[in-house]
Structure 1
Amino acid sequence: MAGDGERTLSEDRLRGVLDLFERLRERPPWRWRERLRPLLLLLGPARATSQAAELLKSRCEDERAPVSHIAADTPATDVAGVLREAKRELSQPSSRGRGEPPLRFPMLEMALWLRDLRDIRRAGDRPPPRGASSAERENHRLVRRLTHPPVGDNENARRRELNRVIRRRGRDVLRDLEEPPSRSAAFLSFLEQIAPLGVAVVALVSAGTAAAIDLATAVFAAVVGLAFVAVQIVARTRGWYGVYRYGWFLRQPYVDRDSTGFLGFALGVFDPRPVEPDDHGEQLDLLLVAAFLEDLRRNYRRDYRRAAWARVRYPVLILEHLPAGHPGVQLIELIERVRADSQAGEGLPGFDPLVVVAGVDPATPAEDGPAAPSGGRLLDRIAQAVRVDMASGEPQSVVAARGLWDRYAREQRRVGALGSRRELRVDISRDPGGDLPPVRPVRRRPRLAHPALPWIAMFAVAAASITVISVQVVRYCSAFEIARTGNGECVGITDGSFRFGVDSGGRNNDNRLNKVLDEIEELNDHVMESGKPYATVVYLGPVTADPSIKNHRIDLLAGVQGELIGLAIAQRRFNDSAEGDDLRLRVLVANAGARFRYAVRVAEQIRERALEDRSIVAVIGFEQSRRQTQEAIRLLAKSALPLVGTANSYDGTALLDGDAGFSPYYFRLASPNSRTARHAAYWARNGHLGGGKAENAVVIYNDQPDDLYSENLATGFAEAFGRRRVRMRPYNNSGELDKAVREACQDQPDLFYYAGRSDEFRSFINVLELSCPRRPLVMADDEIAKYVSDNATEIGRKNTFDLYFTPLAAREAWTWRWIGDQAPQTFYSDYDPAVREMTDENNKGQQPSITRAAVAYDAATLVATVASKVFWQEKALPSAGSVFAALNDPDHDVLRNGASGVIRFTSRGTGHQVADKPVLLATIQPDGTTEVKQVCGRLVAGEQGKADCPA
């Protein structure tokens, strides 16, 4: 109990010293406030200074702050020994907070090692002393190998051997060399420095890339970034990295060096020459001190390392009591010399965080031995060593005056770094004689420097980035141009490499399209790899089935499948016929979604793509007459792109707002609804539908506001057939369709004219077969060709109703009856082999629409033909403008031998229709085949068979 009371009394008595000590070792929160700390001298007898030193050390250890206590009777006999002991104590667990990495001294370790080698070398070829450690024995063996290399290769052998050992030590630069070697310890030690920041940056870059570019690039950026982080972590454990850090020695002025890098420097320190007086001892001591201060500076450097910011206490070196011969006296002198050299030298750091506290008896003489009156005191010697020298005020000559300002500026910088004084003296033997204020509160570690914070921040950033990327995965199906819609469809533009039909439920709706997309991709690759000139057309169509259709067998993709096959046949034929530098054709596929729901969105992508890719000369497709299709056409027309419609038959397609008429850029291949309806009504009224003349009819049509086709066709038929003989039965959903058919069958008409969509045609005929008392007669337009392609065999086999329709094209029209001896269209001879090649054998029941294949073939062929003609006429790559100009010329046939007939466009005033476009009347035979009954229009350029057609 008496001891505790004495210690408490001592703390109270030294409260002022403790307050000063706390101010000295407290690290300012801001970099610009950091300054070199002055030397704290505790003046008093040995017992008092030892007690004060022990108190300061205990205070540091209680806080787990870095401290080294060098006792007065330390076994160290030189500066190297004191630095070795200081390094050891500053690296102890008691000198760092829990969870914090220790202070590391790689520069000092290397300098001490080189000095040890030098000392062994200068001691001669002596065996290691008894009881030497394994490290000392290894050093003796290395010196022996360096001083006695193989004969004939002295210098090279010496360098190779030293280089090998230095690289090994460089590999261990991140750990304490006095511990057992452990590369994993080095790995884990520096993981905190690299991993949190590196992973966070990679996560941010990946998320930003996913949002701004595409997922593939984001994944690539993440892989590259994480690989870079991993390389950085692993590199810390490699020898070359440690040797690279040793380059600091080459910038020091204390030891001679040659031009061979650090290896030459190490050989210069080792100096393997005949034994001679060691005239570099003091320079080596300066190097050791400089390395010690450099290591401390790096440990406290404010950079991206969290641990450096978490250190709120400067390291303290406490010299308990300094007699005249103590190596600590020389250490203080060398520390101040190195600091002064750092201020004077260019490019050398001017700050280190070391705080030195030394106990000195004022009566101690400056040197060992009997104290002479003129010998001076140790206190004065130390004061002289740490003094801030300033220039005298003596006047300068007129010549030397020019250097006064530079000298003044240097002194200002020196005072700014070292302070106006370099020592603080405290006489601890005096009684304070009164109460003292409490000791300055201890600054706590910043919360932002908590060891867990970088990892928390890393995981938070990574989680946020993963969330962003996950959103992009949900939002985008693949590349940035392939977006995922709310109903699970993938819409955008592809060269055939992407499969659109994987919906939100994981169902692949486009497996029947995979092979034809593969073919288009392969053809495109050949074009790009050839290096030949090419033109690009973009196909815009509904490449995915409606996700609401649960039965995969009725996905009604026969139309788009046929159009894609027609495109592929046209592209292959055109490119195969190209020779030398002839123009090639490239095809891009743009999915507008089922029922063209996202046509405007994708049209904007096409427009932006066309601005970047000037090879795009036209857009083809637009097969469905819907409001969204109309808006997409108007949007694309603003880019002056030629637009070629395949099956779009709405009378007002491409009509502009107001009285501007039709867009000049849109060209239609399909016969307008009014013309087709007029032919259908004529054939029905005149008995060409397999029975007597139809005297009345019920028209079934879809009246949804977005559907421009159905009501337009229904109205056209009613007008041509006769309004008084027609009952109009609109529907908006399947329930209304069923009701309309049942009610119509109660007073069964001579003819059911179906002007609805192919999506509902199965429901229509199912109710029709069950509700009508007599065998019904059904007539429809080309829209149901998609249904017929997949179900022709079933329709013929059941034979429960008579079906007639007006396809846009038909293979059966190219028979002797209609074209006589003229050559048939070669497209149809290529079609069957192409279908076998581009369709899946597992989907034999689902066949592509040959009608849609024919019109898509014509669209692609006429654009390619016109582009090739422009290419040879202008001797330059065709542009959208030049292709439009050629298409807009009404004086010649654009395509004399089209699969759907001869193609010559009329003027803009009629909407660029095909002049005398063939209108066909076809029916399904009991064996499932198609028979063409009538062909009205210009199918071939020459004579063709007679048909009964309206005037």
Structure 2
Amino acid sequence: MAREGDRIPTEERLRGVLDLFERLRERPRWRERLRPLLLLLGPGRATSHVAEVLKSRCEDERAPVSHIAAETPATDVAGVLREAKRELSQPSSHARGEPPLRFPLLEMALWLRDLREIRLAGDRPAPRGASAAERENHQLVRRLTHPPVGDNENARRRELNRVIRRRGRDVLRDLEGPRGRPATFLAFLEQIAPIGIAVVALISAGTAAALDLAAAVFAAIIGVAFVTVQIAARTRGWYGVRRFSWFLKQPYVDRDSTGFLGFALGVFDPRPVEPDDHGEQLDLLLVAAFLEDLRRCYRRDYRRAAWARVRYPVLIFERLSAGHPGVAFVELVERVRADSQAGGRLPCLDPLVVVASVDPDAPAEDDPSAPAGPRLVDRIAQAVRVDMSAGEPQNVIAARGLWDRYTREQRRVGALGSRRELRVDITRDPGGDLPPVRPVRRRPRFAHPALPWIAMVAVAAASITVISVQARMYCSPVGIRRMANGECIGITDGSFSFGENSGGKNNDGRLSEVLGEIESQNDHVKESGKPYATVVYLGPVTADPSIKNRRIELLAGVQGELIGLAIAQKRFNDTAEGKDLRLRVLIANAGAKFRYAEHVAGQIRERALDDRSIVAVIGFEQSRRQTQEAIKLLAKSALPLVSTANSFGGTALLDGEAGYSPYYFRLASPNARTARHAAHWARNGHVGGRRMDDAVVIYDGDPNDLYSKDLAVEFQKAFRPGVTRMRPYRDPGDLNKSVREACRDKPDMFYYAGRSDEFRSFANVLELSCPEPRLVLTDDEIAKYVSDNAAELGRKGTFQLYFTPLAAREAWDRRWVGDQSPQTFYSDYDPVAREMTIKDGDSVQWPSITRAAVAYDAVTLVATVARTVYWRENARPSAGSVFAALDDPDDDVLRNGASGVIRFGPRSTGHQVLDKPVILARITPDGRTEVTQLCGRLITGPQGRADCPPGDEPPAAPPR
């Protein structure tokens, strides 16, 4: 009949023990504490059954557990640790999709211990049946013990260092298992890649939003390269050795001052005295490495796996006896914990849970001949108990240390707990019903293995979306925005080349050279540290994206204006000396046909509020409704506005009866004046050599185009009111129809008041539909077409082309200016234009010299006034002071401009240039431009005679 103590309790009767076990191994969400030792008291058969139940419960959950059975062949502490490491690393000890517990520090410590044991055993070969790793260790010890003669110490260090680095390369894998470098790489990939890629994606998206897409791509490349290098580097030996620096902080083994290599040699070469003590210190080191590995596996940091581990690792000792190495292990664990707490070296408590089954009657010593003494259970309890006894009284001198001792013990209790062992007698069963075991804590959802990858994909997708939006909305900085039609609009100092980033339409970089020159000059101005004034140019810096043929994009006008700006800026800054004022130029792109002029005007206005060096805005070359709205908006900022080629008379008219904006100054001759001259010359035989009685006027009927219809109506009034035929068009198809119908009537002349964008279509239809040579008279708008196509126009001879440019180099001929020296702008222009002109095979895209001249005058005008104000007021000029000087009728503003003498009239007439030159030019058969008539004041002195309308005769030329 079995004794009551030998009865094996059923799992139903073990609910209390199981509930306690679950509480011990359940990892709290926060405020982790060391777990006490659980002692299961009872006879061997019963406690072995309980140990199996606890082990099975852990394995069913795939929770980390190691069961050191009574028959486990572990003869020492190192053997216990090997078995515990092996079982805790098994697939059954971790959930699917989770990385296993790894023990790199323990691996290294056990390897060094093996070398030490081989060294102490003498120079013996590896035993028969030894594993490959054991044979390799014996060979290594032989090489370390008998290095080459003459360099013994250095040779030993080199050899040991080589092997340590090789083992450090595989620091994350079980060296006895089948895993290799690919598995190590993937383990790091799971740890680094999701967070790294997500961070890279966020940085790239932020860079795209704050800077530009090129910077975002560069940031992404650098970030991905960094993550890749991190992953690859962590599989290298040198990185693994870095992890072993933990050994250098441990007090258990002596070492020299040469880092971890010295430490390893200290383990390999034990001191000849007290070898047993050295062995105990090494066992302490092994236990400390084991606990540190566990602590790192459970450390809550950026690693998801550490948060997913909700069960502490359990080490179950079955039937401990006095001679079992498990007893020494428990004692060493508590010593290491106490040493770490006392030395303050443990930043986080280790998570190990130890369960030991002990016969309550087992003796504390494994010596049958010894008299009855303490029990084993009391010996274990004494090893883990916290001593808070009062101790012996201290003398009056030693009393000063009592408080330090008291606080140290208090900290020890706070770290280790006041109760370090829990006893359960499994043979005692009072009967009665027990509540069910509390449910186990599940893994947090946020710690799911797929979550980092899902988060990485989500963040990367969101970042790609942001970058895509930025790529769609912004071309470079946030200030350079991509509009719906693909154009890039905004303000630049020349560092952004609109022509190369406008929806892929202008990739020839036609403007890149001149923009680069302006940027370089702006950089010199800023680097000089001298005071400067800033002028903003507002113009159509990109071609219409709908134009597929780059040969007809008509950027000659804006290219010419930018070259004029660059020449004026360089000349002005080169003449500045000492503390004289310098000039900075900003370029604002309003888009083709000034579509986004009002939007960019808002950007200029905001910039002017922050940058008080901005004294004027120039440009506004196209007379469109959008330009008019931009002028009204900028006038509210009290900025002087100087237009280059804008010729619509009512451009600056304000709403109601307010008249013209006081801040607007016009350099171009108004349409009414130009049309009057053109009609006079046509009627009086200066166009084609005969009087014209019949004309067809072609103009753009777009209501947003203020220039074309106004010029057409003004020409009709001046030529033959009520007789001149008007042919509007709204699109190229409309234009072709109008020209074909007009050709049937065989008019004497076409007056083209349309835009240069459609002039090629006009010329082609005229060539096909009007077989007889025709005369075409047009305005300065056509100058940008002429600039790119003058040779073709002269060579074809389909029609004779006359036009009225705002400025012309040919006007500075002796016929018109006599002996007066030509404007120096034109001599500066040629080398600059050649340097900044794109050559595409035999085709050359020349900038418009006409637009270069008026832009040069506009910048020189503002810069000269700003410098005058600067010296007059002895202070940096403001927009208000520059406006006041421009508005003063007594100031001789610019006596010798490239487009003529510039002196503004009153506000009541829109600040028109008084006696603005009006020029009639024609394209000769060899593609040259010839000035045939010139009215108005080109120079201050006498000019050559021309046939001008009444009241507009130029000053008489001096006698020859």
Question: Of 366, 384, 387, which residue of structure 2 is paired with 1:386?
Answer: 384
Secondary structure at 1:31 match in 2: coil
Counterpart Cα distance in 2 of 1:155 and 1:876: 77
Q: Say if 2:848 is the partner of 1:853.
A: no
Q: Say if 2:274 is the partner of 1:279.
A: no
1:109-144 Cα deviation digits (max 9, x unpaired): 232233334444444555554544444444445555
- Is the CA contact (8 Å cut-off) linking 1:146 and 1:272 kept in structure 2? no
Cα displacement (A) at 1:18: 3.1
Matches within 5 A, 1:881-920: 891=890, 893-906=892-905, 910-920=909-919
Counterpart Cα distance in 2 of 1:262 and 1:344: 24
The match for 1:26 is 26
Deviates more, 1:439-448 or 1:289-298: 439-448
Structure 1: gaps of 5 or more residues: 1-5
Deviates more, 1:422-431 or 1:89-98: 422-431
Matches within 5 A, 1:478-517: 478-494=476-492, 498-501=496-499, 506=504, 508-509=505-506, 511=508, 514-517=509-512
Distance 1:286 1:798, change over 3 A: closer
Counterpart Cα distance in 1 of 2:785 and 2:502: 26
Cα displacement (A) at 1:248: 2.2
Secondary structure at 2:74 match in 1: coil
- Is the CA contact (8 Å cut-off) linking 1:496 and 1:518 kept in structure 2? no
1:749-803 Cα deviation digits (max 9, x unpaired): 8776543333344555677788899987654321232334445556556666665
The match for 2:513 is 518
Counterpart Cα distance in 1 of 2:358 and 2:374: 14
Q: Say if 2:163 is the partner of 1:168.
A: no
Secondary structure at 1:190 match in 2: helix
Deviates more, 1:309-318 or 1:55-64: 55-64
Counterpart Cα distance in 2 of 1:292 and 1:121: 23
1:256-293 Cα deviation digits (max 9, x unpaired): 55655444444444455545543333333222222111
Matches within 5 A, 1:211-610: 211-256=209-254, 260-271=258-269, 273-274=271-272, 276-370=274-368, 374-392=372-390, 413-430=411-428, 433=431, 436-494=434-492, 498-501=496-499, 506=504, 508-509=505-506, 511=508, 514-522=509-517, 524-525=519-520, 528=523, 532=528, 537-568=535-566, 570=568, 588-607=586-605
Counterpart Cα distance in 2 of 1:650 and 1:399: 105
- Is the CA contact (8 Å cut-off) linking 2:487 and 2:542 kept in structure 1? yes
Counterpart Cα distance in 1 of 2:520 and 2:726: 51
Cα displacement (A) at 1:298: 0.7
Distance 1:164 1:792, change over 3 A: closer
Counterpart Cα distance in 2 of 1:19 and 1:483: 66
Distance 1:371 1:427, change over 3 A: farther
The match for 1:61 is 59
Give the aligned residue type for 2:19: D
Cα displacement (A) at 1:81: 1.7
Distance 1:256 1:926, change over 3 A: closer
Give the aligned residue type for 1:199: I
Matches within 5 A, 1:38-77: 38-77=36-75
Cα displacement (A) at 1:665: 4.8
Secondary structure at 2:642 match in 1: strand
Counterpart Cα distance in 2 of 1:264 and 1:840: 71
Distance 1:504 1:621, change over 3 A: closer
The match for 1:935 is 934
Secondary structure at 2:276 match in 1: coil
1:70-113 Cα deviation digits (max 9, x unpaired): 12133222212211221122112222222222211122223223
Cα displacement (A) at 1:192: 0.8
CA-based RMSD = 4.2
The match for 1:815 is 813
Alignment TM-score, normalising by the size of structure 2: 0.86
Give the aligned residue type for 2:26: E
Cα displacement (A) at 1:808: 0.5
The match for 2:196 is 198
Deviates more, 1:268-277 or 1:283-292: 268-277
Counterpart Cα distance in 1 of 2:857 and 2:783: 17
- Is the CA contact (8 Å cut-off) linking 2:649 and 2:671 kept in structure 1? yes
Counterpart Cα distance in 2 of 1:279 and 1:461: 56
- Is the CA contact (8 Å cut-off) linking 1:296 and 1:353 kept in structure 2? yes
Distance 1:616 1:844, change over 3 A: farther
The match for 2:17 is 17
Deviates more, 1:690-699 or 1:488-497: 690-699
- Is the CA contact (8 Å cut-off) linking 1:510 and 1:544 kept in structure 2? no
Give the aligned residue type for 1:19: D
- Is the CA contact (8 Å cut-off) linking 1:503 and 1:547 kept in structure 2? no
Give the aligned residue type for 1:599: A
Deviates more, 1:14-23 or 1:937-946: 14-23
Counterpart Cα distance in 2 of 1:912 and 1:371: 125
Counterpart Cα distance in 1 of 2:406 and 2:653: 85
Q: Say if 2:113 is the partner of 1:86.
A: no
Cα displacement (A) at 1:425: 2.4
Cα displacement (A) at 1:595: 0.3
Give the aligned residue type for 1:80: A
Secondary structure at 1:425 match in 2: strand
Cα displacement (A) at 1:619: 4.0
Secondary structure at 1:278 match in 2: helix
- Is the CA contact (8 Å cut-off) linking 2:539 and 2:594 kept in structure 1? yes
Secondary structure at 2:645 match in 1: coil
Distance 1:254 1:712, change over 3 A: same
Distance 1:684 1:504, change over 3 A: closer
Distance 1:776 1:137, change over 3 A: closer
- Is the CA contact (8 Å cut-off) linking 1:112 and 1:288 kept in structure 2? yes
Distance 1:97 1:212, change over 3 A: same
Cα displacement (A) at 1:168: 3.4
Distance 1:208 1:323, change over 3 A: same
Distance 1:217 1:341, change over 3 A: same
- Is the CA contact (8 Å cut-off) linking 2:803 and 2:922 kept in structure 1? yes
Counterpart Cα distance in 2 of 1:917 and 1:575: 28
Secondary structure at 2:113 match in 1: helix
Cα displacement (A) at 1:361: 1.0
Give the aligned residue type for 1:850: I
- Is the CA contact (8 Å cut-off) linking 2:601 and 2:633 kept in structure 1? yes
Secondary structure at 1:279 match in 2: helix
- Is the CA contact (8 Å cut-off) linking 2:195 and 2:452 kept in structure 1? yes
Counterpart Cα distance in 2 of 1:821 and 1:175: 94
Distance 1:746 1:225, change over 3 A: closer
Secondary structure at 1:74 match in 2: coil
Matches within 5 A, 1:753-902: 753-762=751-760, 779-792=777-790, 803-828=801-826, 835-837=833-835, 838-842=837-841, 844=843, 847-863=846-862, 891=890, 893-902=892-901
- Is the CA contact (8 Å cut-off) linking 2:537 and 2:586 kept in structure 1? yes
Secondary structure at 1:280 match in 2: helix
Deviates more, 1:416-425 or 1:739-748: 739-748
Alignment TM-score, normalising by the size of structure 1: 0.87
Aligned residues: 941
Matches within 5 A, 1:106-185: 106-143=104-141, 159-179=157-177, 182-185=180-183
Counterpart Cα distance in 2 of 1:908 and 1:897: 22
Secondary structure at 2:101 match in 1: coil
Secondary structure at 2:856 match in 1: helix
Counterpart Cα distance in 2 of 1:11 and 1:703: 97
Counterpart Cα distance in 1 of 2:710 and 2:288: 93
